[in-house]
Structure 1
Amino acid sequence: MAKQWSAPVLLTLSMLGAPAALAATPESLVAAYAAQAGVPVESIDVAVGEALFRQGGSSNKQCSSCHTQNPRAAGKTKVGKRIEPMAPAVNPQRFTDEKKVEKWFGRNCKDVLARECTPLEKASLIAWLAGLDREGK
């Protein structure tokens, strides 16, 4: 059975340059963002994450503008470059690299919301996406 790490331990290890064996998971990222937000993981509301994905931003700029309304499907950038699916059930590499996650939250939140996403928003979005199954839940 795999050892479960607490959010503060994961954050500390990542700051110290922990080895790749401790790669991020959607669950570890949700726990870390919940800890940053000062809330228990159990209080993360996946409906907030879904609303952020589908309705966040202006009427012409939303996450789903590039990622599509179906997070299980591939999207396209403004210039037509493929974006792999957001749902980890379809794209197991999604949310496994903390640096990439932060990079893309940084870019996309500023582009779509005109501000940085809060740790609570990040936790909610990842929790919602991680809860989606392959077919259509």
Structure 2
Amino acid sequence: MKPMIVLAAAAVLGTGVALAASGDPERARILDGYAAQAKAQLPAFAGFSAERGQALFLGPHAGGKLAETPACASCHTRDPAATGRHYKTGRDIPPMAVSANPKRFTDPAEVEKRFERDCVNVLGRACTAREKGDFITFLSNR
């Protein structure tokens, strides 16, 4: 019975769930940081959602900086385990799914750099901490 209590506590705090979902301690730390930010921004925050992350990934979204990229899937394909292609340069983009690219979302500086650039291009604004966590949660389970 005690493991269930520990698991429930971890779910509330984020740490255990993030590590279980991501399989990498660095990714778990990144998710825990976004969880703390999300809770500060939205006191009713109850955890990340793979479903919301999938909706963010697939779009379509209006208001982005680039009309050619109304969704993350515009460059990364609808299958996050597949290699994407940059819309302008044609360069390959490594898969977004953690199952196909285990190092994805493990470098905090790189994660923030990509969110800062790509959220503006796709959404026309910065992503919230909850959106970032939802996105990583979705791709960690793919």
Is this a same-fold pair by TM over 0.5?
yes
Question: 5+ unaligned residues in a row in structure 1: which ranges?
Answer: 1-5, 8-22, 133-137
Partner of 1:99: 109
| Identity rate, percent | 39
1:53 aligned residue: 57
Report the 3-state secondary structure (helix = DSSP H, G, I; strand = E; otherwise coil) of the residue aligned with 1:24.
helix
Distance 2:50 2:92 in 1: 26
CA distance in 2, matches of 1:56, 1:103: 22
Structure 2 residue runs without a partner (length 5+): 1-12, 15-24
| CA distance in structure 2 between the partners assigned to 1:84 and 1:97 by the alignment | 15
Structure 1 runs of 4+ aligned residues shifted over 3 Å read: 39-42
Please state whether the residue corresponding to 2:105 is helix, strand or coil: coil
Q: C-alpha deviations, 1:77-97, integer Å up to 9, x for none? A: 121011000011110111111
The TM-score, its normalising length taken from structure 2, stands at 0.71
* TM-score between both structures, scaled by the size of structure 1: 0.74
Mean alpha-carbon deviation: is it higher for 102-111 or for 58-67? Answer: 58-67
Deviations 1:12-63 (A, max 9, x none): xxxxxxxxxxx722x2222110111116986211110000000142385210
Q: Which residue of 2 aligns with 1:110?
A: 120
Q: How many aligned residue pairs are there?
A: 114
Who is 2:36 aligned against?
35
Shift of 1:114: 0.5
SS of the aligned residue for 2:26 comes to coil
* Partner deviation per Cα, 1:100-137 (whole Å, 9 max, x = no partner): 000000000000100000000000000010011xxxxx
Deviates more, 1:55-64 or 1:112-121: 55-64
